[in-house]
Amino acid sequence: MTRNKTLWLAVGGVLLVVLLAVLPLLAIEIPGVLPGPTYTPGTLQLIAYAMLIAALALSYRMMFGLAGLLSFGHALFFAAGAYGLGMTLDAFGPAEWPSELIFLGSIVVTLAAGFVLAATVGALALRVTGISFAMVTLAFAQAGSVLIRRNPGGATGGDEGLALDIEHVPGALVGVLNTRNLYWVALGVLVFVYLVVLWVEQSRAGHVAAATRENELRVRVLGLRPYNVKLLIFIVASVLAAVAGMGYLLLQSGAAPRVATADFTLTLLVIVVLGGVGYRWGAIVGGIVYTLLDQRLTALAGSEFIAGLPAVLRVPLSEPLFILGTLFILVVLFLPGGIAGIPQRIRSGRASHPAESEEVADA
Amino acid sequence: MSTIVLLLITGLGLGALYFLVASGLSLIYGLMGVLNFAHGSFLTISAFLGWEVGRRVSDGTWWGLAISAIVGIAVGAIVAALTEYLLIRRLYERHIEQALVTVGLSLATVALFEGIWGTDPIYTARPEWLTQTTEILGAKIPNDRFLLIACAVIVLGGIVLFLKRTRYGLIIRAGVENRQMVTALGIDVRRSFTLVFAIGGAAAGLGGVLASVYYGYVSAHLGSVLLIFAFIVTVIGGLGSLTGAAVASVLVAVLQQFANYYLGGTGDLVVVVALAAVLLIRPRGLMGKIA
Amino acid sequence: MSEPASEPILVVDALSGRIAGQQVIEDIAFEVPATGVTALLGRNGVGKTSTIKSILGLIERTGDVRLAGERIDALPTHRIVQRGVGYVPEDREVFGQLTVAENLRLAERDAAPRRELVERLFPDLVARRAQRAGTLSGGQQQMVSLARALVNENRLLLVDEPTKGLAPRIVDEVAVALAEAAQTVPILLVEQNLRVVRRLAERVVVLSGGRVVFTGTAVEFLDDEELIHRHLGVHDASEAA
Ligand SMILES: Nc1ncnc2c1ncn2[C@@H]1O[C@H](COP(=O)(O)OP(=O)(O)O)[C@@H](O)[C@H]1O
Ligand SMILES: [Mg+2]
């Protein structure tokens, strides 16, 4: 990539962020995509949620797309962020401490806990590779999910979910009227995650990780230890997921057990592949498209139009996940570069696939 | 003593269910390197269709249950073979994409099942005897456990016989070890892929009908729950090893039962700890080939 | 043999092969005559195994490969083998969990497999029919591997380092079996042991840096210390031994 192009991309990125930042001050309406004008809390809430999911997807893509680690347990770390912060806010700090200190302290504690969890799970799971790694991460996430549903000591709220205890949360981040501030927090999380991911990808570790994905043997021959690099990527991605999870807790004023399930991780996988595994911004596009699509499809499912259809059409069309799952299969089969890969496909005029060469080594 | 017997036999019964799911998963993975997330859906669709047909023929009788089982086996085999033929095969040797397609299939089908049969469990009628108990060494054992165990043993025996006695079985065993070398002997190994999917699907289909007997209901999520434990079983047993899957099914299920009873309902967590332990000590599982 | 002796059984042209997206051989061209043994030589890691695997379609490849005039470079591996190519891979690759008999049964493609021939060449295996191949010694495993190729009537054998890591007595046995096989079928043989090459091969093809650097008669090559030193980096082992 030339210097010039990099510069333009950076300028474009900054402009995009600025545009997103002033969105709450504008009254843009996109009928059929957004539920209302952009200054309304409902719309801001939806976009903020989409941005957090995009941030989470970015962290997932770093693991899967960059390092080739197919984890089925990423939801565990998102949930760790959300539940971790919620539970520490509940339990943490002598009452005489100032609220700000408790709030910040809780964030630090949650991050530390997320780090320890990520290091432990990563160190164990990375003992195996490929599909076994996927299964092992799935099992750990499942354990987390079970634990949350069990509601040990009433800490997680079980199936009901955990409600955010707002006692120590800064007032500016509480309530519908402050959705705008939460929106900015979500945007901040997205930008932060993006910058960290960018930094990791362009670091030496990132290059080694990418080389490992392409050809582990060669990396070993060069005398590098792929395990350490993979573990590093795993931990960074997991902590970033926890950061997104904390944003989610604040935005939703609570955490639902759904975010710890294997299905939630599968959703992330769908997002990343939908957006395009080979591209960083693919995860962002995927996250936003998916969230909006999910919301719109759910609205569509309840619409009169659908209710009037014969059963063969009505039943599948009223299930958003059916449509998304089918879409996903079609993307994997026919659009290997995902949405972000479309311009590239049009330019080169053929079906190129960024991760094509992955499998030959094992054959 | 009677508690231990009860836990053991119930564990064996649950292990039988795990095995019916895990056997197919393990064979499919061993031969083709495909992690099949749709396997739970094979089970669920078989359970639903088996139940729909069985109750119309004769609800709550042995005859009805037998019909359900036959339908379940057939549906599982056909759906699985079609999945392999229409979706998996197009992505030959691209294991990640193959797994992704099965992920999509599993999401889509579970949603579809919810759309058709609703999100709540549907309670099923069973033959009288299966709702009763038999006393063994002072323990009152629910009779359905015996049915499950018997079926799993028959399936295990059947698959072993098939693998040992037929040419396709030979190809599959060799392919699990070294697929490339099988093709280098002039054998089109892909044909046995469809077959392995069909066998795995049939076992899962039977598992679906039996799961509805064990739990007393059918639901859109029947397969998803069992699938996760089946994954764990496959990893512990060693990917690609049928015997490993059988042994690990029993170990995991019995462990789970004991932990649930003696350690305050922590069965699921103990299973995950066991998985971590196995990985630490023996990453390739109890009987897996060297990865 | 149906082909006239003048027409080569295998013609390889512009063959390139990739492993894990990385080019390992490039623009390889050579021929294998319809009779006798052609040796494929070169230093370790030069691409001999990759050449054989490319011919068989076991790794990603491009180029023009003809078996008795027919293009086979777009065919899947099993179809190539079915056209009469026997393969003895580097490191034997027997199915360790299968018995000796099962290994052989799996390999049988012909309606009338040549079991007597195999039993005569490798009497050791007869007594061990029911033994798991994984429990055999290296030499015995090599015999299983050879037997899998010889049990069918082939038009060409691709044999990759059959004597690697074997005791001298077993090396002899393998060489005898190959010499007998070579009476009826042309062989492309990868071999590090130059004594075996001298004994079996009429022609040699030498690779270096993923390309062909020498083609000629075996005698021409083996008698030229300087050529051997340059391309294989060794002195003729058969003189020293
Ligand atoms: N699985 C693999 N992954 C990456 N590179 C490989 C692999 N196998 C072989 N190579 C490379 O391909 C080249 C040729 O190897 P090979 O054909 O096995 O050589 P030879 O048989 O002549 O010793 C070597 O440089 C080796 O490093
Ligand atoms: Mg070699």
Which one is predicted more confidently, B276 or B209? B209
Structurally, how many domains does chain A consist of? Answer: 1
C110: pLDDT confidence band, cut at 50, 70 and 90? confident
Structure tokens at A314: 């009505």
Q: Is B1 exposed, middle or buried (0-12, 13-18, 19+ CB in 10 A)?
A: exposed
**What is the signed CA dihedral for B39, B42, B44, B47, rounded to 10 degrees?**
-140
Chain B residue numbers touching C105 (CB-CB < 8 A): 170
**pLDDT band for position A93 (50/70/90)?**
low
C202: CA distance to ligand 2 center in Å? 21
* pLDDT surpassing 70 at residue C1: no
Chain C contact present for A352, CB below 8 A: no
pTM: 0.84
The reported pLDDT for the residue numbered A132 is 76
Q: Test C20 with A217 for CB contact under 8 angstroms.
A: yes
What is the CATH number for A212?
1.10.3470
A352 touches chain B (CB under 8 A): no
Q: Evaluate: CB of C117 within 6 angstroms of ligand 1.
A: no
Which of A80, B180, A153 has its CA nearest to residue C80? B180
Nearest chain B residue to C134, by CA:
B177
Read off the pLDDT of residues A175-203 as tens digits, 9 standing for 90 and up.
778 888 999 999 999 999 999 999 999 88
Return the pLDDT at B10: 93
A315, pLDDT greater than 80: yes
Q: Alpha carbon of B153 to those of A203, B11, B16, B247, C183: distances in Å?
A: 54, 14, 8, 12, 53
Would B38 be classed as within a structural domain?
yes
Element housing C17 (H / E): strand C10-19
Q: What's the pLDDT band for A2 if we cut at 50, 70, 90?
A: low
Contact status, residue A71 vs residue A210, Cβ threshold 8 Å:
no
**Which residues 186-205 on chain B approach chain C with CB closer than 8 angstroms?**
186-189
Residues C157-209 have pLDDT tens digits of 999 999 999 999 999 999 999 999 999 999 999 999 999 999 999 999 999 87
Q: Is the pLDDT of residue C238 over 50?
A: no
Helix (H, G, I), strand (E, B) or coil at B238: coil
Q: Do B185 and C96 touch (CB under 8 A)?
A: no
**B66, B67, B72, B78: CA torsion to nearest 10:** 130
pLDDT at res. C68: 94
Q: Chain B contact for A124, CB < 8 A? A: yes
Instruction: Name every residue whose Cβ is closer than 8 Å to that of residue A117 and which is 6 or more positions away in sequence.
Output: A76, A77, A80, A238
Q: What does the mean pLDDT of chain B come to?
A: 92
Quick check: A358 contacting B, CB < 8 Å?
Answer: yes
In chain C, what are the domain boundaries? 10-239
Fold of C10-239: Rossmann fold (3.40.50)
Range of the domain at A319: 37-362
Indicate whether A13 belongs to any domain: no
Would you place residue A110 in the very low, low, confident or very high pLDDT band (cuts 50, 70, 90)?
Answer: very high
Give how many domains chain B has, as a whole number: 1
Domain that holds residue B184: 2-281
Q: Do B108 and A127 touch (CB under 8 A)?
A: no
- The whole-number pLDDT of residue A349 equals 56
Task: Kindly report the average pLDDT of chain A as a whole number.
Answer: 85
Q: What angle do CA A101, A106, A109 make, to 5 degrees?
A: 120
- Using DSSP, state whether A6 is helix, strand or coil: helix
Q: Which comes out higher in pLDDT, residue A346 or A103?
A: A103
State which residue of chain A sits closest to B86, comparing Cα positions: A333
Does residue B289 lie within any of the structural domains? no
B165: nearest CA partner in chain C? C102
**What's residue C5's pLDDT?**
53
Q: Which of A266, A324, A313, A331 is nearest to A291 (CA)?
A: A324
Q: For A237-247, what is each residue's pLDDT tens digit? A: 999 999 999 99
C-beta separation of B79 from B10 below 8 A: no
Q: Quick: pLDDT tens for B176-234.
A: 899 999 999 999 998 899 999 999 999 999 999 999 999 999 999 999 889 989 988 99
The residue ranking higher by pLDDT, A320 or C31, is C31
Query: Does residue C47's CB lie within 6 angstroms of at least one atom of ligand 1?
Result: yes
Q: A19 lies in a domain? A: no
Three-state secondary structure call for residue C85: strand
Instruction: Indicate the pLDDT class of residue C153, thresholds 50, 70 and 90.
Output: very high
Q: Who contacts A352 (Cβ-Cβ below 8 Å, separation ≥6)?
A: A336, A337, A341, A344, A345
Confidence tier at A128 by pLDDT (50, 70, 90): confident
C11 lines ligand 1 (CB under 6 A): no
Please give the order of strands across the beta sheet that includes C70-71.
C22-32, C10-19, C60-67, C70-71
pLDDT at A130 over 80: no
Beta bridge partners of C190: C40, C160
Residue whose entry in the numeric block shows the structure tokens 């058709």: B116
CB A57 within 8 A of CB A285: no
- DSSP secondary structure letter of residue C60: E
CATH of the domain at B40: 1.10.3470
Q: Which of C81, C96, C102 sits opposite B184 (nearest CB)?
A: C81
**pLDDT band of C2, cuts 50, 70, 90:** very low
Round to whole Å and give the CA distance between A204 and A198. 12
pLDDT per residue over A32-83, tens digit each?
A: 778 888 888 888 999 999 999 999 999 999 999 888 898 999 999 999 999 9
Give a yes or no: residue B222 inside a domain: yes
Query: Which is it for strands C201-208 and C37-41: parallel, antiparallel or unpaired?
Result: parallel
- Pair type for strands C156-160 and C85-88: parallel
